[in-house]
Amino acid sequence: MIAAIIQARMGSSRLPGKTMADVAGRPLLWHVVNRVRKARLVDKVVVATTNQASDDAITEFCSGEQIAFFRGNEEDVLDRFYRAAQSISADTVVRITADCPLIDPAVIDKVIVRYQQADCDYVSNTLRYTYPDGLDTEVFSFAALERVWREARKPAEREHVTPYLRSGRFRTANVESDTPVSPARLRWTVDNSSDLQFVRAVYGAMNGNGAFGYEEIFEVLRRRPELAAIQTEVISNEGYYRSLFRQARAGAAPMRQLAQSQAWLARSKEVIPGCAQTLSKGHTQYVQGAAPIFLQSGKGCRVRDVDGNEYIDYVQGLLPNILGYAHDEVNAAATAQLADGHSFSLPHPLEVQLAERLTRLIPCAEMVRFGKNGSDATSGAIRAARAFTGRDRIACCGYHGWQDWYIGSTTRNAGVPRAVRNLTHTFKYNDLASLGKLFVEHPGEFAAVIMEPMNFVEPEAGFLAGVKDLAHKNNALLIFDEICSGFHFGLGGAQKLFAVTPDLACFGKAMGNGFPISCVVGRHDVMQVFEEIFYSFTFAGEVASMAAAMKVLDLLEQSDALARIEASGRILQDGVNAMAKEAGIAGHVLAVGRPQWSLLKFTDKNGAESPLVKNLFQQEVVKRGVLILATHNLTAAHDGPAVHQTLEVYAEVLKTIAWWIDDADPARFLEGPMAQPVFKVR
């Protein structure tokens, strides 16, 4: 028997009594039950409520409407749910919550069918959201539920029923929406008063008719976009994050054994200036003494240091590992090419094949030249722009690599001639006036505007198009530095996402999943300048990395890797923000940016950047097994168990920091020297 069990109670902390709130003349719960009953494959519907007196209203309502119900433990929801399923001898269980009055019977049936066809213990449409929040359907066997009931111990697992099912211990599958409408941030569940107002408005637009599906709701929202503006909060599953926070224990974590890291550091100091090949990977970027210094191995989203400690890695080599460390298929593609040679005396067909592929994927790409590092690409683009325009000055916004033309504009400018420094000018993001001022001050002198189209701040409406317009009005080229945004924000990069096509663009990092490769792409007439300028180095045509890149593009195009990255990133971002709010430090810790690549901002009580709060956070998460600088460099390998483990760590650390911030001297909780910035923009 397939039984749908609807969790319901009156005691919501955010909107008490919502279960029986009026919607189109009926209690909200009535609509949920009525819609679930319309699912063709559901044999029985049961409301599982608590044995508290406050929920007598629910059982009285169910009795009057001939709705089966079960009463059980208020706090141990898993026990209540299990006993409800046991009481009716359910073979298959469908979990629905009573705050989803827009639940779609057809979606319920679709998830059930997938469960019946798949060799899985658990199937849902919530492992990765492609449906609006509020159509949540979970289907699992009674046997799996019974195992969870026996084994789950953590409070959040008992309160929310299914986290243990999603912990990696069971076979799972996700159901995707067929509707080509992005559901990101669509919230159709009822958790607060604005949600209830939205649901009432939807039923009003349907004239009280309950026989509608989610696609009809999309149509209503297209006709009446003002309805979507009713809601003020958009964090999904906020109750779950609050549960994680409540179960977390505050306090400093014990130090990890790092003796081998320290030994390698001592040896490194003798032979390597700065002890690392990349400044951002050096030991000075972490709280010294608390963080590992040397890593030994990595697989997927996890790494091991030279002392054998394991970490969930959100640095990922500074962003290139979009599929995770040591991806089997990517490594196999590179290895196969290595067997045939990889650094040849003449060009290899792979150069042409990869270039052709990039011209199909990237809007501005008509021709392609390859490099190995992001700095190769940005510097090549700048040289090409100067040659094409016959001008010298560059306007820049963002980080663009280590070469003289850019790094001279920062505080890390030792060794860069002043004449070179003076040719690069910075402007502010989302501030067209600051760019316009440069053109006024140096008329006819700018070769190009180079910028990151987006990192962690969304471009304001018209900003990117305005930059392009200003550049072209002043006969300068527009270059998008997409070394970081490329592929993470979609296969076409930020330029496709925001529909602004530059003259040139630079891609790298994620393209090779850790293999060294980058490229300059752009307009045919500008790219032909590469035939004249000197952009030439021995390993630009190295093809093992190109073979890896071809496989990376295969996987990004043909799998759900990018969707998984976005889903994991959204959970992390929402979790941080919800738990920081619960801790009372939302003003000090905030995750911003797109979920694929978000930034943790740390501020003091005045709203200024706080290195101290950042270092305290970084110190405590790394001691608990999470390696991070300040960004979530997500990969397709950051699966549900890894994200859940990370959130449990974050809950403990946020609770700890909330305590420390109120101390007279929070700095006393640091266990080593703070991380030092690599440079500051001049």
| 27 Cβ neighbours under 8 A, 6+ residues apart | 19, 20, 21, 61
**CB within 8 A of 418, min separation 6: which ones?**
none
**What's the average model confidence in pLDDT over 509-525?**
98
Per CATH, 259-325+561-669 and 344-541 having the same topology is answered no
Residues whose CB is less than 8 angstroms from the CB of residue 94 and which lie 6 or more positions away in sequence, other chains included: 2, 3, 4, 5, 36, 39, 42, 108, 111, 112, 137, 138, 139
pLDDT at 233: 65
pLDDT at 234: 67
The amino acid at residue 97 is: T
Nearest to 62 by CA among 5, 100, 107, 106: 5
Q: What is the pTM of this model?
A: 0.91
Per-residue pLDDT at 124 exceeds 90 = yes
* Residues forming a β-bridge with 631: 599
Q: What is the pLDDT of residue 399?
A: 95
How much is the pLDDT for 179?
A: 72
CATH superfamily for 259-325+561-669 is: Aspartate Aminotransferase, domain 1 (3.90.1150.10)
Q: Encode pLDDT of 98-117 as tens digits.
A: 999 999 999 999 999 999 99
Straight-line distance from the first to the last Cα atom of the chain, in angstroms, rounded to the nearest whole number:
68
Looking at the predicted structure, is the pLDDT value of residue 682 above 80? no
Single out the catalytic residue among 55, 191, 305, 481: 481
pLDDT in the model for residue 181: 52
How far is CA 312 from its chain centroid? 15
Tokens of 678: 């690599």
Selected catalytic residue, list 509, 551, 581, 655: 509
What percent of the chain is predicted at pLDDT more than 70?
98
| 297, pLDDT greater than 50 | yes
What mean pLDDT, rounded, does the chain reach? 94
* Per-residue pLDDT band at 566 (split at 50, 70, 90): very high
Active site residue 662: no
Q: 480-491 pLDDT, tens per residue?
A: 999 999 999 999
Cα-based angle 7, 11, 12 (whole degrees, multiple of 5):
80
Which option is the CATH number for 2-234: 3.90.550.10, 3.30.530.20, 3.40.50.300, 1.10.3720.10? 3.90.550.10
Residue spans of the domains in the chain: they are 2-234, 259-325+561-669, 344-541
Q: Is residue 44 predicted with pLDDT exceeding 80?
A: yes
Known active-site residue 509: yes
356-383 average pLDDT score: 98
Predicted pLDDT at 680:
63
Q: Which pair of structure tokens corresponds to residue 283?
A: 């030991």
pLDDT band at residue 678 using 50, 70 and 90 as cut-offs: confident
| 399 classed as catalytic | yes
pLDDT at 184 over 60: no
> Which pLDDT score, from 0 to 100, does residue 605 have?
84
- Structure-token match 């529909």, residue found: 499
**In the prediction, which pLDDT does 183 show?**
52
Query: Per-residue pLDDT for 537 more than 50?
Result: yes
**Are residues 521 and 504 in contact, defined by beta-carbon separation less than 8 angstroms?**
yes
225 exposed, middle or buried (CB, 10 Å; 0-12, 13-18, 19+)?
exposed
Please identify which of the residues 203, 399, 406, 650 carries the catalytic annotation.
Answer: 399
Whether the Cβ atoms of residue 6 and residue 42 lie closer than 8 Å to each other: no
Strands 504-507 and 424-426, how do they pair?
A: unpaired
Assigned fold of 344-541: Aspartate Aminotransferase; domain 2 (3.40.640)
